[in-house]
Amino acid sequence: MPQHSTSGSPSSKPFGRLLLTGASGNLGRQLRGALAHWADHVRVSDIAALGEAAPHEELCPADLADRAAVTHMVEGVDAIVHLGGISIDAPFDDLIEANIRGTYNLYEAARKHSVKRVVFASSNHVTGFHPVTSVLDAEADHRPDSLYGVTKSFGESLSRYYYDRFGIETVCLRIGSSFEEPKNARMLVTFLSYGDFIELVRCSLFANRVGHAVVYGVSDNPASWWNNAKAGFLGYRPRDSSAPYAARFPATAPNADLADPAQLFQGGPFVLGEPMEKVAR
Amino acid sequence: MPQHSTSGSPSSKPFGRLLLTGASGNLGRQLRGALAHWADHVRVSDIAALGEAAPHEELCPADLADRAAVTHMVEGVDAIVHLGGISIDAPFDDLIEANIRGTYNLYEAARKHSVKRVVFASSNHVTGFHPVTSVLDAEADHRPDSLYGVTKSFGESLSRYYYDRFGIETVCLRIGSSFEEPKNARMLVTFLSYGDFIELVRCSLFANRVGHAVVYGVSDNPASWWNNAKAGFLGYRPRDSSAPYAARFPATAPNADLADPAQLFQGGPFVLGEPMEKVAR
Amino acid sequence: MPQHSTSGSPSSKPFGRLLLTGASGNLGRQLRGALAHWADHVRVSDIAALGEAAPHEELCPADLADRAAVTHMVEGVDAIVHLGGISIDAPFDDLIEANIRGTYNLYEAARKHSVKRVVFASSNHVTGFHPVTSVLDAEADHRPDSLYGVTKSFGESLSRYYYDRFGIETVCLRIGSSFEEPKNARMLVTFLSYGDFIELVRCSLFANRVGHAVVYGVSDNPASWWNNAKAGFLGYRPRDSSAPYAARFPATAPNADLADPAQLFQGGPFVLGEPMEKVAR
Amino acid sequence: MPQHSTSGSPSSKPFGRLLLTGASGNLGRQLRGALAHWADHVRVSDIAALGEAAPHEELCPADLADRAAVTHMVEGVDAIVHLGGISIDAPFDDLIEANIRGTYNLYEAARKHSVKRVVFASSNHVTGFHPVTSVLDAEADHRPDSLYGVTKSFGESLSRYYYDRFGIETVCLRIGSSFEEPKNARMLVTFLSYGDFIELVRCSLFANRVGHAVVYGVSDNPASWWNNAKAGFLGYRPRDSSAPYAARFPATAPNADLADPAQLFQGGPFVLGEPMEKVAR
Amino acid sequence: MPQHSTSGSPSSKPFGRLLLTGASGNLGRQLRGALAHWADHVRVSDIAALGEAAPHEELCPADLADRAAVTHMVEGVDAIVHLGGISIDAPFDDLIEANIRGTYNLYEAARKHSVKRVVFASSNHVTGFHPVTSVLDAEADHRPDSLYGVTKSFGESLSRYYYDRFGIETVCLRIGSSFEEPKNARMLVTFLSYGDFIELVRCSLFANRVGHAVVYGVSDNPASWWNNAKAGFLGYRPRDSSAPYAARFPATAPNADLADPAQLFQGGPFVLGEPMEKVAR
Amino acid sequence: MPQHSTSGSPSSKPFGRLLLTGASGNLGRQLRGALAHWADHVRVSDIAALGEAAPHEELCPADLADRAAVTHMVEGVDAIVHLGGISIDAPFDDLIEANIRGTYNLYEAARKHSVKRVVFASSNHVTGFHPVTSVLDAEADHRPDSLYGVTKSFGESLSRYYYDRFGIETVCLRIGSSFEEPKNARMLVTFLSYGDFIELVRCSLFANRVGHAVVYGVSDNPASWWNNAKAGFLGYRPRDSSAPYAARFPATAPNADLADPAQLFQGGPFVLGEPMEKVAR
């Protein structure tokens, strides 16, 4: 059961209680602090260690595949930022538990507890098999580049169902590459600064109505594969860019190997992965 | 009959004579001064009191529903900025006179006097029944949110006819919310500063060819429901934004009432209006 | 007040009472008989003489511009086939009364009496300024070819409003040329046989949900400017064709006058009309 | 392990060996006989009883969730018609096993055994939350109407991945309502006759290249929500229609309850379902 | 100089004089007879032997690359069916003369002699590098599959220019495979019967306005890569089909070589060609 | 034969050798210096005098219509910037040699020497017959405004073929008006500063994959007819604008001659040109 902080004091923050799943991951750690500005209480959850709770925080360790645990985790929250699950390619049996059963558990819990807004960490890998010479928007067809991408595509479909059927709004963030800095030439295109990531979550939580929205999580980089014009209602305006890092990956003559899928498709090296066998299941 | 100023002196201003209808309204008052820079003579008209005439001005009080008056009003002008008519919801019989018969009278007069350009104050309420989670452009289908919006839709259709049939060009300005400052949270999306309004009229008057154009009148606000890319030939680049006023309408958790039409549709409270009976017709 | 027939007997017909406006016009006369198969009671209305009432009929002479008369006319009906109004170009003041005020009166009456379905006789002249080398569908932009066409465009916008705001469903029939037989070469493209017209009304009345639909009223002619694929849910399948009449208008070498608007635009001779002054208003 | 028939004789049939999953279901039983005309050997599989094997058949009972069983099942086949899995709404844990893990197992087996073509029984319920007043094609966005529909959406995404990554072609059949005869009014729109179903599978198996195709499985019914023009390369031309059954579901005045989701959305009663708890898991 | 027939007699045929280029080719021979029904005089031209002139015919042997000859050839004609030029892949220097200089010569001659309609034999090879799993319409982007296809793309661009600049109308026929009968499996998709070819030319000549139109020349074959809905104004309704020939090319299991471009792209074997050196230039 | 510089020294520049055709033209002179930063060796070619070779340069005078010369010119280069050919309207026989045979020669040479990237100077005149009230993107249909524009359309089609067939990537730059400064009012819309031109070539050379791309070459001018959103993957961000020059072409009331094609179409005065006879061929 979630460890509620005892807070009876009056509050001027917009949300009473927000839930952050995947709080111990790369992006969860970035966001955890920011949520304090938006909610009186922040419930943080992960299957990994969560560290110390800040005064406004409730620690809620949980396995997303555990339905009962997830149901309890969601109780009493106003909105959810769902970063939890597996965020790289993995054996499909693992992906089923974390990203398929886990996401289902989360939405079922939201339905039972009347939570009306979810910010869902989807991924650019939902559309990673589009060529790098296309510019996509929210209506691009799903072409996942990996089993991981397939499970994120599933999450988007599932959340669409919960919106159409039960009115639970979701913003699907097709996150590019969110790190401290771009790590390679591809990330000059896909870079999402931590600051812009936080801003995008803020817009997704506070926009008055979002319906079922899809938006690419990307900074204002010079080159882009993605166009967010159709999500203009969110008010997301990136402030950062990969441009300052361009010199680290100096321009070269284009790779002559035109048949290299990792160069041809937006998913980059993901498109070369293969389904993995789970070891010692 | 219009009170012509006597001007035989040479002039370097681009237009000889511009007509401004609705000159005494909120936006008319803003624009009245600016027109002096673009035309030697500015004829100003309204059904309400017009105040004192500046030296370059011709006062032309008129009821738009009075065909003869409108015919005279339009004589000798080079272009028209048509802000006149009723700009809020009203009994339909009134809307007919001001916005339907009145707009017809204006275009007929333009045809008779060979006026070739009209800037027509349409309204975002022509498309106000689109959801707030859509981003519209000039080709969005008409979904008026009120009888007022229906009459503006009529004006757009009528002006299309006068362009296709008689070559009279029109720019339809689907004006958002043009006030000194945004007055509520919705206007953070729909705000059009007075400065941007004047700039949009300037672009609409001076663009060499406009055909029959539709453009949303909106500043460069953070969140937007409208995309003017298809009107790029007008050269309108908003300089203002609602961002400085955002703090006045602090973010709150999204309204939980998902069934509230005033929150779901772009028209806001307009979508809740009902046809009014005219009192004592 | 409508002259209700006294019918207390049980019935197996789908509708209790249908209202047909414009019952004395060309198409109204065609439809009047067919309605008997679909409704126990058929109320027929026109400003012109209505002839004798059949046993199942209620005669309801009325001027559409007379709000009180229209309100009474609509009382107690289950659905409306609205063919009334002016169906050719006419002085705009006349069009205002019949097609603008009249249509408003009809929808207001429908709202007050909770009528939930209207079949509205719109016209191909709503899009008559599209070139004859285009194939249009329900989403084509309005380019009326006459003031008459502008008022039908108004009717489509108005009915959209009544659907979005009050849930009154409308099928807008953009009728081509519905006569006994095609009368000229243009009608080989625009011909709608009486049989197909009746079938289209039948589909529009009986489809379980129509929302706000737009469909071109045209038979299965060899050449076509219109594509009804987006209205496939109506189930309208034309059975007739202009082909048997083709020999009456034998093929000639194309008219060499490429500048003739009546040949260039779908509206044909309508595009040459000019606004008319009303005589002796 | 599959029970191979011993066939060393020469053959003129196009396929050496076809696999049919879900062979004991409603559609599997229809198709089972037809496959004999197209392949020397037909391997039939189901979790339910398979009955007697015909001389050309190999019986291969299997649970799709059993990876090893599925791997063996697929060995040696030239193409797969995958009708297996759960075809109605069900507890999500069951859907995971049959439709998610099971479909993954099937495609992994196809990859391992170099099978290059799958005909996948998807469902119209992938898009069932589109309104009945829309006409959809293969590019409509996924709006599943049930958890069942979500798992079919998953299958389409997964198969897209196996095509983009491994070149395994799939035709996704979004099957309407395939029964002996239409059973209710909705099926007058969604009816797919058994004959047309078999023809659609034939086209899907024999088209020289299909890439990753999506096609609605529907007969040539009078009213339609679906347009297969983009799948014209398959050569599917339905020969049957629901028209002969129309009289069984006589037309009525439209249901006045505009708020009934089962009437508003293509999925019909599916859209009213709710996630089920699995009993005694 | 053309050998005019001496015809002073009155005529009831729609055209006075038609010009047919490429009259000695495969399709020219089919069409030559049909033209007699549409014109009093038929001028036939080719670089190859033209045979005997029928009474209504004028023989006009000419090399399309010879500007003066082409200018004379076009004098006095009402419309042109331009089948001339090279219709297979060839050395580019040859294609320049026949298909680029030759087509320019033809349009310049049409301009000088005020000919207002050309029916231009373009080719499906203008779009032959689209995959066989796409269905194209007139707006598909040009992806020629050969240098031959590039020169037909040139002809379409050139004719667009002559329409926009000089008002000369052209129908570009993207002819599939027009032979007595389909010769291979690909032609089951691309077959255009001689009868349908003649009908398509008839529609193209007699439609009152065609602007600059693009239409695929194909019969009503079961499978199709092309959709002519946007050319519905031409009134072309194919009457033939490749279906009766299907049995000659019996269905086989799909070719397993997914990398074979001749199977992947609509152009078939054309896509394997390579630019040819001209021998003994 | 190209005059190779002897360079065996190690290099840090991205390209070994770049070829610039049209090096003596207006834009060639601008680019010539910039290429030194991107390549160890720069081969410069023109039919006109090339001036002195810089140390890193190889002078290669050549007539593009001379196949052998072009073949030699291309030997050993890594990429080509093809500005050569005729860049204004000219007699078609001249355009054939320079822009049709010449471009073919260039691509054939690239194929033979395995060059994998070409930056091709196309022109806005490929689409110059679109009206000035349209905003075009890379998918706009070709509507050339001159024979010159037709030959650039040819170049785009040809390069598409070499990409689809042989994998040679091309960026087609539809260059606006690239001069030191805008020279007239039209150029306030079409201006491409030299700096932005060089940046656009840089992006086109260094983007890792470009496939067959089309991008308008235009600075960030206030008014625009072109939208490059679909080429966002190139990373081109113009830094200049025509705005500083606007005062030189002061706004005037719109030209009243609505029938003037040079004002109606994007091509401006080009649309008034006529095919020229070559003098003394």
Listed in sequence order, the residues at least 6 apart from A132 whose beta carbon sits closer than 8 Å to its beta carbon are A189, A225, A263, A264, A265, A266, F208, F209, F233
Q: Phi and psi of E54, rounded to 5°?
A: -70, 165
Q: What one-character DSSP code corresponds to residue A31?
A: H
CA angle (F125 as vertex; F121, F128 as ends), nearest 5 = 150
Starting at the edge strand found earlier in the chain, the sheet holding F117-123 runs F57-59, F39-44, F15-21, F79-82, F117-123, F169-175, F212-217
Pairing of strands C117-123, C169-175: parallel
pLDDT at residue D92, rounded to an integer? 97
CA dihedral over A90, A96, A99, A102, signed as positive or negative: negative
Closest CA to B31 of B47, B13, B16, B46: B46
Asked if E157 and F158 come within 8 Å (Cβ–Cβ), the reply is no
Is the minimum CB–CB distance between F189 and chain B shorter than 8 Å? yes
Residue B231 touches partner F, C-beta closer than 8 Å: yes
User: Whole-angstrom Cα distance, residue C86 to residue C90?
Assistant: 8
Q: How far apart are CA C16 and CA C4, in angstroms?
A: 12
Helix axes D102-112, D67-74, angle to 10 degrees: 40
- Which one of C127, C130, C133, C137 makes the best mutation probe of the E interface by having the most chain E beta carbons within 10 Å? C133
Q: Show the tokens assigned to E12.
A: 């009831």
pLDDT given at position B281? 42
User: Which candidate from B14, B78, B210 shows the least CB-CB separation from F133?
Assistant: B210
CA distance A275 to F185: 60
Find chains touching chain F: ≥3 CB pairs under 8 Å.
A, B, E
Per-residue burial over B44-76, b = 16 or more CB atoms within 10 Å of its CB, e = otherwise: bbbbeebeeeeebbbbbbbbbbbbebbbbbbbb
* E199 pLDDT more than 60: yes
Does the distance separating the beta carbons of F208 and A132 come in below 8 Å?
Answer: yes
End-to-end C-alpha distance for chain D, whole angstroms: 28
C112 touches chain D (CB under 8 A): no
SS (H, E, C) B234-257: HCCCCCCCCHHHHHHCCCCCCCCC
Close Cβ partners of A52 (under 8 Å, ≥ 6 residues apart): none
Cα A128 to Cα A274: distance, rounded to the nearest angstrom? 14
Does the structure show a pLDDT above 70 at C14?
yes
Contact residues on chain C for D241, CB-CB shorter than 8 A = none
Chains C and D touch (3+ CB pairs under 8 A): yes
- The answer to whether the beta carbons of residues C220 and C239 sit under 8 Å apart is yes
Task: Work out the average pLDDT over C126-140.
Answer: 97
Contact E258 D116 (CB under 8 A): yes
Q: Which of E37, A107, F204 is nearest to D92 (CA)?
A: A107
The lowest-confidence range among C214-228, D5-19, F116-130 is: D5-19
Rounded to 5°, the CA angle E117-E122-E126 comes to 140
Nearest-CB residue to F116 (from A134, A189, A258): A258
Q: Is the dihedral of CA E249, E253, E254, E260 positive or negative?
A: negative
D148 is catalytic: yes
d(CA A71, CA A69): 5
Q: pLDDT category, F32, cuts 50, 70, 90?
A: very high
CA distance C237 to chain B (A): 26
What is the DSSP pairing of strand D57-59 with strand D39-44? parallel
- Is the pLDDT assigned to residue E224 strictly greater than 60? yes
pLDDT tens digits for chain B (281 residues)? Answer: 344 444 444 557 999 999 999 999 999 999 999 999 999 999 999 999 999 999 999 999 999 999 999 999 999 999 999 999 999 989 999 999 999 999 999 999 999 999 999 999 999 999 999 999 999 999 999 999 999 999 999 999 999 999 999 999 999 999 999 999 999 999 999 999 999 999 999 999 999 999 999 999 999 999 999 999 999 999 999 999 999 999 999 888 887 676 789 999 999 999 999 898 876 54
pLDDT(D89) > 60: yes
Q: What is the DSSP-derived secondary structure letter of residue B99?
A: I
Pick out chain A residues at pLDDT < 50.
1-9, 281
| B-chain residue closest to A79, CA distance | B253
- Interchain pair E256, D116: CB under 8 A: yes
- Chain A nearest-CA distance from F230, in A, is 6
Q: How confident is the model at residue C188 (pLDDT cuts 50, 70, 90)?
A: very high
| Whether C100 contacts chain B with CB within 8 A | yes
Residue among A117, A231, A235 minimizing CB distance to B254: A117
Predicted confidence band of residue F281 (pLDDT cuts 50, 70, 90): very low
Residue E263 tokens read as 């199977």
Which one of C92, C107, C157, C170 would you mutate to disrupt binding with B, by most B Cβ within 10 Å of its Cβ?
Answer: C157
Chain D residues whose CB is inside 8 A of the A101 CB are: 92-93, 96
Examine the pLDDT at F265 and tell me if it is beyond 70.
yes
A164 phi and psi angles, rounded to 5 deg: -65, -35
State whether D206 and E131 contact (CB < 8 Å). no
How many secondary structure helices (H) and strands (E) does chain E include? 8, 7
> Which residue from D225, D251, D252 is facing C233, i.e. has the nearest CB?
D225
Q: Is C68 on the interface with E (CB under 8 A)?
A: no
C35 pLDDT exceeds 90? yes
- Asked if F230 reaches chain A (Cβ–Cβ under 8 Å), the answer is yes
How far apart CA B51 and CA E140 sit, in angstroms, is 59
Can you tell me the mean pLDDT for E206-210? 95
Tokens 């089919």, residue? E30
What is the residue whose two structure tokens read 């109308």? E169
Chain C, window 208-227: residues with a beta carbon less than 8 angstroms from a chain E beta carbon = 222-225, 227
The token pair at C265 is 């635009």
Give dist(CA D124, CA D219) in Å, integer. Answer: 13
DSSP 8-state code for residue D53:
P
CA-CA distances (angstroms) from residue E119 to E84, E115, E172, E205?
A: 11, 12, 6, 7
Question: Sheet of E79-82: strands edge to edge?
Answer: E57-59, E39-44, E15-21, E79-82, E117-123, E169-175, E212-217
Residues of E in contact with C131 (CB under 8 A): 209, 211
On whether the CB atoms of residues E108 and E67 are closer than 8 A, the answer is yes
Calculate mean pLDDT across residues C156-167: 97
CATH classification of B15-249+260-272, choosing from 2.40.50.140, 3.40.50.720, 3.10.20.600, 3.40.50.1100?
Answer: 3.40.50.720
pLDDT one-digit tens code per residue, F210-260: 999 999 999 999 999 999 999 999 999 999 999 999 999 988 888 767 678
List chain D residues with CB under 8 Å of A157: 142, 144, 150, 153-154, 157
Give the integer Cα–Cα distance in Å for A118 and A158: 12
The single-letter DSSP state of residue C129 is T
Residue F201 corresponds to which amino acid?
Answer: V
Element (H, E) at F82: strand F79-82
Inter-chain contact F227–B232, Cβ cutoff 8 Å?
A: yes
ipTM of the complex: 0.94
Residues whose CB is less than 8 angstroms from the CB of residue E125 and which lie 6 or more positions away in sequence, other chains included: E144, E145, E146, E148, E149, E152, E267, E270
Report the SS3 class of residue F245: helix
For C199-239, the DSSP string reads HHHHHHHHSS--SEEEEEE----SS-SB--GGGGGG-----
Yes or no, beta carbons of C210 and D133 under 8 Å apart: yes
The predicted structure's pLDDT at residue B12: 78
Sheet holding C15-21, edge to edge: C57-59, C39-44, C15-21, C79-82, C117-123, C169-175, C212-217
Check if A134 contacts F (Cβ < 8 Å): yes
Q: Could you tell me if A198 and A36 are in contact, meaning their C-beta atoms sit under 8 angstroms apart?
A: no
CB-based contact E19:E81 (threshold 8 Å) = yes
3-state secondary structure of F144: coil
D281 pLDDT above the threshold of 50: no
The residue-averaged pLDDT of F37-58 equals 97
Rg (CA), chain E: 19
Cβ-Cβ contacts under 8 Å for F280 (sequence gap 6 or more): none
